[in-house]
Structures are given as C-alpha cells and as structure tokens.
Structure 1
Amino acid sequence: MPKRALAQKRPFLLASIAAALAFYYLRAGPYPDVILIPLKGSAVALLAIYAWLRHMSQDARLLAIMLVLAALGDMALEFYSGVAAVIFFGHHVVALMLYLRHRRERLAPSQKATVVALLLLTPAIAWLLPADPAGREQALIYGFSLGGMAASAWASSFPRYRVGAGAVLFLLAHMLLIAEFGPLEGNEIPRIFAWPVYYLGQLLIVTGIAQTLRKRDPELRLVK
C-alpha cells in the first residue's frame, strides 16, 4: 500500500512548515503585528503539538515543553528582546535536561573537540558582539546557555546530523540576532537569514528526536 501523503500522516508538521514560510514572506508586506506575531509563534507551537502526538514518553513531553517555550520566545522577540532572552534561557535549560538524559557513551576526539568549542566559544563570541558594554554580561550569560544546549545536543545519542546539526543551526540563528546589537546593526543579514536558519534547526531537532524515540520505544507511540 502506498505511503500516505504528509498532510495525512503528519498534518501538524505540514501546518508548521506552512506557517513558517507564511511568516517569512508576509512580514515584508503591510500586515499588522496582531497577525504576524501569532503566525510566527504558531510555526514552532505546531511542532510542539507534533512532538506531543508522536510519542507518550517523558522525553517527548520535555521536547514539547521546550518547543512551547521557543514559540513564546519567538513571539517575544518581536516586541522585547529581554523577555525573549529569559524565555529562551528556559528553553535551553529544558533542552539540556532532555539531551543529558540521552548522553552518548563514547565520543571520538573530534566530537569532544566540537563539544568543547560549542561550550566555550559560544559565550566568548556572544560577549564580544554587543557594541554597548552594558549588554555584554547578559550576552555572556545567554551565550553559556546557548552553547550548553548545542554542546549537549551534539554529545547526545540522538542523530548528530539531525539533532546535533539542528542545535548548531539554532545557535547560529541566535548569534545573528545578538550581532544585531553590534557589527550587524542596521544590516539586513539577520532579517534575511535568522528565521529560516532557526526554523530549519528546530525542524531537524523535533523530527530527529521524535523518530529516535519511536524507534527506541515503539510501544509508547501514539500515532503511526
């Protein structure tokens, strides 16, 4: 029997992709924030629903929670970056909890080097980016949480070139946003690239984790 279409098998995943694309293209038009902000938040919120419905394990619940926090952070970014940073800090903490529950037993030397680089270079670069010295302490703290999240994802037993790569894309997108307060202030690069890089990272993370959880514990699947 032929496989069902994506819209039939994973409607929330398809709806999430559609919302992400719609936000990216509609934000350039004359549409008010009352439409664009919920549309932006719905892209990752729909990924949270997808994760919740794919598996009934505690890990899947943690994944859904971290995605809900990310969706709230996405919306907060549109009106106050300070609030968004606090929300995303919470996202990183939950993500760290999830990834540490699935630590890889052994890491190759190159993998260890990548983990150390993500953990240490991320806060160092984040501290250097803001032009205003008053914002560097906050950037440093946020950089530690961001680097810790990406490093733990890379060191986890989840597929490295989906979940690990997705976390690195997440990191790169947020570094672009931090750079808006420094070398990229007034530049169109963050506006053009931050959202698609970020969303692709989230998409890789959620599909990689969901697929892995279903393979490891098929009895806890909620839907086929």
Structure 2
Amino acid sequence: MTQGGGLARIVLIGAVIAGVSYFYVIAGHLAGPAFVAWKGAGVGLLALYAVLRARNSDGWLIAVVMAFGALGDVLLDAAGMAQGAAAFILGHVAAIILYLRNRRGALSSSQKWLATLVLPLGVLIAIWSVPFESRPMIGIYTAFVASMAAAAWISRFPRYRTGIGAMMFLASDLLIFARMGPLAGDAWASFAIWGLYFGGQVLITLGVTRTLGAETTKIR
C-alpha cells in the first residue's frame, strides 16, 4: 500500500465513523454548531477521500460532487432548506456531467426503462407528498436528484455501488418530502433518511473512485 493510499483509507474510515455516529445526534435530537459540523463531516471526508484518489478530471469531479453534498448537509441546518437544496442541486449537476461523460455502452431494455421512469415517478411521488404550496420548488429539486439517479444508473460505474447509491439518495429525499406530509411525526423516518443518504454517498464514492483507480493502475 502506498503512503497516499494509506492516508486515503484512513480518511475513508473516518468518513464512515463520522457518518454512522451521526445516528447518535438524530436519536438525541441534538442541535448546535458542533452537531451541524458533525453532520457535514461524513460526506466532507468522502470529498477529501475522493481528492486523495483523484488522478484525472473525473476523479476531481466526484470530489466536487461530494463537497457540494457536505455543503448542502451543513446549509440545511445552518441556513435553511432553500440554501441547502441549492448546494445539492449544484452537486447533482456535477454528478450528471460525470455520469453522462461515462455513459455505459450497451443497456438492456429493463435498464433503459428504469432510467426513463425514475424522473417522472420521482417527481410525482415528491409533489404528492408535500403541501400544495411547496410543490413547485419540491418538483424542481426532485427533477435534479432523479435525473442524477437516472444518469448514474446508465453510467459505466458499478450499478451495485454507484447506481444503487444514487437510487438510495433519491429514496432518502423522497422520505424527507413524505415527512412533510403522510409521514409527519414518524420518528423512524429520520433514521431511514440519514441511513439511505449517507450509505448512498459512500456507495457512489467507492463505485466511481475504485473504477477510475483501477483504470489508472492499468495505464501504468
């Protein structure tokens, strides 16, 4: 193991510890600047991990995606939903660019259908879940996250890491919106939202960085 690879692994372990331990904050309903920073630490360390693994523009792009994710995590609590959503949208745009630059050559019919249906179904579920006055903003945001998930699914990155991870991210957001309506007051939803979101971000990062890293090794 190289020194750089060893540091990257340590950072990845730190990211997982930070993300998993955040369930303690959720369970205790803890608030304050320190806990906001704790929330952003998991994905922030994933961004640093991606930086340490980056060897080309795609490697740097996944780092940018995770950096905007960490910023969104912090802004949601520190500034508000609109500011947090804006950061996430920027991350989704960067992710869509990355995935479309790395589109899979051949797709089965089922894969094409899933990628096609994710956007309209995601938006419909989201706007059904929230009050009428919130539907325009929620619908626009969901279009971005659903497009990101669809693009990840048809990318050449491992479907059982990056593809599933992106779908988990979408599911997490749909649960957030459901908590504004039919799931309001359900305590389990907060745990599911964080688990799906952070687990999805880990899978996305590992799928992209390991694919790109393997290609770099072959070139050498």
TM-score by length of 2: 0.92
Gaps of 5+ in 1: none
- Per the TM alignment, residue 220 of structure 1 is displaced from its structure 2 partner at its CA by 8.2
The yes-or-no answer on 1:35 pairing with 2:25 is no
* Amino acid paired to 1:100: L
Query: CA 1:51 to 1:180, structure 2 compared with 1: closer, same or farther past 3 Å?
Result: same
Q: Deviations over 1:98-123 (max 9, x none)?
A: 00110111110010011011122111
| Equivalent-residue separation in structure 1 for 2:219 and 2:14 (angstroms) | 24
Residues 136 and 30 of structure 1: is their aligned pair in 2 closer, same or farther, counting only changes over 3 Å? closer
More helix by share: 2
Could you say which residue in structure 1 is the equivalent of 2:128? 128
CA distance in 1, matches of 2:9, 2:143: 35
State the Cα deviation string for residues 18-66 of structure 1 (Å, max 9, x = none).
1112221134337541211101101001000101111221001110111
How far the C-alpha of 1:126 sits from its partner, in A, is: 1.2
Corresponding residue for residue 98 of structure 1: 98
Q: Name the stretch that deviates more: 210-219 or 110-119.
A: 210-219
Gaps (5+ residues) in structure 2?
none
Counterpart CA distance in 1 for 2:210 and 2:118 is 25
2:194 alignment partner in structure 1: 195
Amino acid across the alignment from 1:48:
A
- By how many angstroms is 1:190 displaced? 2.1
Aligned residues: 218
Is 1:69 aligned with 2:68? yes
Q: Bigger CA drift: 202-211 or 81-90?
A: 81-90
Cross-structure match for 2:181: 182
Q: Does structure 1 residue 108 correspond to structure 2 residue 108?
A: yes
Partners of 2:8 and 2:51 in 1: how far apart?
15
Report Cα offsets for 1:136-175 as digits up to 9, x if no partner: 0111111110110000000001001110000000110111
Please give the secondary structure, in 1, of the residue aligned with 2:86. Answer: helix
Q: 1:164 to 1:30 in 2, by over 3 A?
A: closer
| Identical aligned residues as a percent | 36
State whether structure 2 residue 122 is matched by structure 1 residue 144.
no
1:186–1:220 CA distance, 2 compared to 1 (3 A): farther
